[in-house]
């Protein structure tokens, strides 16, 4: 399965005041595209706790946007489990590569993934990654 990639980018041109922008796109062939979209929405909800002005855009960032960038890599998804990680780089270290966060898996063995399990997945990713961008 091809990894699902989502990026959150803080750019002056993308949003007023340089607020982060969430780019999200599920692979065209993904059987579980609705799970990808729901996971993206939950990650956005978690980031809005810290970045209330976060904007969401359809599609993927073709090139790494300037600014503070967070990327969601969905490594595996099926009806019962989702596995992914966050990768990030800041505008002050844009020449460096991405920092890779821990891989998080959320599984529900006796039912299909649901809103609650996707919320746990998103919360786990954000908390475990401990992303801190320096003040401008």
Per-residue pLDDT of the chain (136 residues; tens, 9 = 90+): 444 454 444 433 344 445 666 666 666 556 777 888 888 899 989 988 987 877 676 655 545 566 677 777 888 888 899 998 887 777 766 566 778 899 999 999 899 999 999 999 999 998 998 877 655 5
Residue 118 · residue 126 · CB < 8 Å: no
93 is a domain residue: yes
87 is a domain residue: yes
106 is a domain residue: yes
CA distance 23 to 32: 18
- Taking the whole predicted model, whether its pTM rises above 0.85 is answered as no
Q: At a CB cut-off of 8 Å and minimum separation 6, what does 50 contact?
A: none
Number of domains in the chain: 1
- The runs of H, that is alpha helices, within the chain are 33-48, 115-129
135 is a domain residue: no
Please report where in the chains the tokens 């002056």 appear, as a residue. Answer: 12
116 is a domain residue: yes
134 is a domain residue: no
Question: What range defines the domain where residue 18 resides?
Answer: 4-129
């Amino acid at each position: 399965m091809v990894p699902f990639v989502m990026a959150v980018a803080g750019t002056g041109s993308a949003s007023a005041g340089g607020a982060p922008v969430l780019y999200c796109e599920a692979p065209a062939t993904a059987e579980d595209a609705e799970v990808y979209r729901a996971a993206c929405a939950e990650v956005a909800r978690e980031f809005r706790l810290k970045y209330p002005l976060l904007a969401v855009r359809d599609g993927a960032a073709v090139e790494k946007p300037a600014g503070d960038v967070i990327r969601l890599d969905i490594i595996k998804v099926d009806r019962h489990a989702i596995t992914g990680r966050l990768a990030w780089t800041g505008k002050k270290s844009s020449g460096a590569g991405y920092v890779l966060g821990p891989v998080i898996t959320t599984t529900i063995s006796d039912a299909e993934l649901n809103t609650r399990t996707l919320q746990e997945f998103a919360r786990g990713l954000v908390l475990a990654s401990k992303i801190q961008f320096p003040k401008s």
